[in-house]
Amino acid sequence: MKKSIFILSAIAAFSMGAGAKGISPVGIDSISFDRHGDYMVLDMNINFSPTDVQSSRAQVLTPLIISEEGDTLALPSVGIYGRQRYIQYLRNGRHPLGSIGNEQSAISDQQSAISNDQSIFKNSERPSGLAYHADTPYQDWMGNSRLVMRRQLYGCADCLIEERTDGVTEYFQLDPAIPEIVYFQAKDTGAKIETLEGSAFVDFPVDQTVIYPEYRNNVRELGKIRATIDTVYNDKDVTITGVWLKGFASPESPYSHNTDLAIGRTAALKKYIGQLYRFPDNIMATDYEPEDWAGLRRFVDNSNIDHREEILAMIDSDMDPDAKEAKIKRTYPAEYKFMLQNYYPALRHTDYKITYEIKRFDDLEKIREVMRTKPNRLSLREFFLLGNAAEPGSDEFNDVYETAVRMYPDNPTANINAANAALQRQDYTTAAQYLDRAGDSPEAVYARGSLAFKTGDYDKAEQLMKEALPLIPAAQSTIDEIARLRANDKEKIVGVVLE
């Protein structure tokens, strides 16, 4: 992962002695030179707009990593070849200039391993800008080194006419190699089943089980059920798998009569819904409860009614329902009348639940669309697919994992990945908050070890990484880095040179 970064925000043009007969200038717009795990990585934008090479010549640009002790490593070169020189290059079997064995190279073979991997451009077809990328295995001597740029100008017969070396960075000491950020894929849990639930207070005339849609508040209450079903009924990404209805009656009539009313009224509502939607016979199911004593208890418990505790005791007793209702009415007539007027109407209701299966998404554009409009429809697997395709650290990348953890706030994997995203952007406070809900899996332990390392608590980091190591091999790199830091506790030196 990233260690030290050197960025040239202004164009640095290596133009010393530039001219038509000498080395031509080259611009460098920006540089990122850092360590990523076991590799040193160089990214830079090379500006060839000021570069111009004569027809018989070639100019080769080679980045070099050089330590204070003289250790040197050359990275792949870039060559700009004049017209004649380019034709000769093609005729000679595409053998690039400046490769190993060239006796006129200023860097000896013992000091460097110059790569034959050279990007060649014809001068007339050279790009105005080139995004250069190179990586090489990290070696200990690179921990205190600098980056220079070697420019070589060749003429006919492969002779080296001129060579210059320009410093790009001063000597620097790398920051510790921070732990690799590991994002963990959510397990595929199969079909995603969701439910929509609610209660409707459908009114029936006294002792009747026929639904009259315009009766009293039925337009509103039946509309609640229809609105819930319509939320998913016409959605092509959803398949309704169940419609469940449960009817309740209030306790004021004999229990047997209330049983008949609850059954009949629930059946009537099922028929009403069945006429509006094309549901298979096995989709709809009904249940009933003759008297909603649990609902009555909630009303009384939350009230300030007189004799509240005594009425609650009667409700909680194991008396026969009819005897219980009669005793409350006889013992506390005023309170009973209040409950009859204010609580009993709400006990005559129908609970409903719509169960549906959400289609699995594999297309990234579709996942992006759903995340924008209905993120609760996505599984963690789908969030991971999108996060894995995004550029680490980008706005989309962070948004994916932040949205996932909002949709699944108690899911350990969602919290681990959100913590990792926070670690990547160096938001350690947020990372710690997510890790509090990440559980105790090896993945969570590894992430906590990464946080401890990045905040400088190497003892804790080492302990956690050793705990995670059996199942998370990446932990070994951090353990090794801690050992290296303890063995090489030197003053940190970081420098930037802008030319």
The per-residue pLDDT for range 265-295, each reduced to its tens digit, is 899 999 999 899 888 878 899 999 898 999 9
Same domain for 374 and 324? no
* pLDDT above 70 for 109: no
Same domain for 269 and 129? no
pLDDT at 466: 94
- The model's confidence at residue 382, banded by pLDDT at 50, 70 and 90, is confident
pLDDT at 112: 30
Q: Is 130 within the bounds of a domain?
A: yes
User: What's the CATH number where 435 sits?
Assistant: 1.25.40.10
pLDDT at 21: 62
pLDDT at 72: 92
Same domain for 235 and 347? yes
Same domain for 393 and 373? yes
Percent of residues, the chain, with pLDDT higher than 90: 32
Same domain for 201 and 84? no
* pLDDT above 50 for 11: no
pLDDT digits (tens, 9 = 90+) for 203-252: 877 778 888 888 878 899 899 999 989 888 888 888 888 999 998 888 98
Which range of residues forms the domain containing residue 386?
A: 361-477
Number of domains present in the structure of the chain: 3
pLDDT at 60: 93
pLDDT at 363: 86
Same domain for 329 and 263? yes
Contact 434, 407 (CB under 8 A): no
Q: Is 407 within the bounds of a domain?
A: yes
pLDDT digits (tens, 9 = 90+) for 148-192: 889 999 987 778 899 988 877 655 555 556 677 777 676 666 667
- Give the count of alpha carbons within 13 A of 224, CB side only: 17
Same domain for 115 and 19? yes
Q: Is 6 within the bounds of a domain?
A: no
- The model's confidence at residue 98, banded by pLDDT at 50, 70 and 90, is low
- The model's confidence at residue 41, banded by pLDDT at 50, 70 and 90, is confident
Average predicted confidence (pLDDT) for the chain = 81
- The model's confidence at residue 424, banded by pLDDT at 50, 70 and 90, is confident
Contact 495, 171 (CB under 8 A): yes
Count of Cβ atoms closer than 10 Å to residue 72 Cβ: 20
Q: Mark which of 140, 173, 206 sits at the end of a domain.
A: 173
User: What's the CATH number where 37 sits?
Assistant: 2.60.40
Summarize the confidence of residues 124-137 as an average pLDDT: 90
Contact 84, 57 (CB under 8 A): no
pLDDT at 362: 81
pLDDT digits (tens, 9 = 90+) for 314-328: 999 999 999 999 999
pLDDT at 492: 34
Least confident of 28-42, 288-302, 363-377: 28-42
- The model's confidence at residue 436, banded by pLDDT at 50, 70 and 90, is very high
Give dist(CA 238, CA 227) in Å, integer: 16
pLDDT at 360: 81
Percent of residues, the chain, with pLDDT higher than 70: 84
Q: Each residue of 161-192: b (16+ CB within 10 Å) or e?
A: bebeebebbeebebebbbbbbbbbebeeeeeb
Summarize the confidence of residues 351-362 as an average pLDDT: 85
Same domain for 346 and 266? yes
